[in-house]
Amino acid sequence: MLGTVINARYEVLEKVGSGGMGSVYRVRDRDHEGREVALKLLTPQDVLWPVPP
């Protein structure tokens, strides 16, 4: 995943950690002068919560 560009904006620099809900990466924000920020990517099962009836 290193070097991958997400949404034509965030360049992945390193994986910071992961857990039950997803992973956190240190990324470079290309839209804000290369500022380094954290980006959390959720796992699909956490994004698609079941809708109660």
- 1-53 residue pLDDT tens: 889 999 999 999 999 999 988 999 999 999 999 999 999 998 887 667 666 66
Domains of the chain (ranges; CATH) run 5-45 (3.30.200.20)
d(CA 43, CA 21): 6
**pLDDT for residue 8:** 96
Tell me what pLDDT residue 35 has. 97
pLDDT of residue 28: 98
Residue 31: the pLDDT is 96
Rounded-to-integer distance, Cα 34 and Cα 36, Å:
6
| Residue that has been written with the tokens 């470079």 in this structure | 28
pLDDT score at 49: 65
Per-residue pLDDT, 44: 80
3-state SS record for 1-53: CCCCEECCCEEEEEEEEEECCEEEEEEEECCCCCEEEEEEEECHHHHCCCCCC
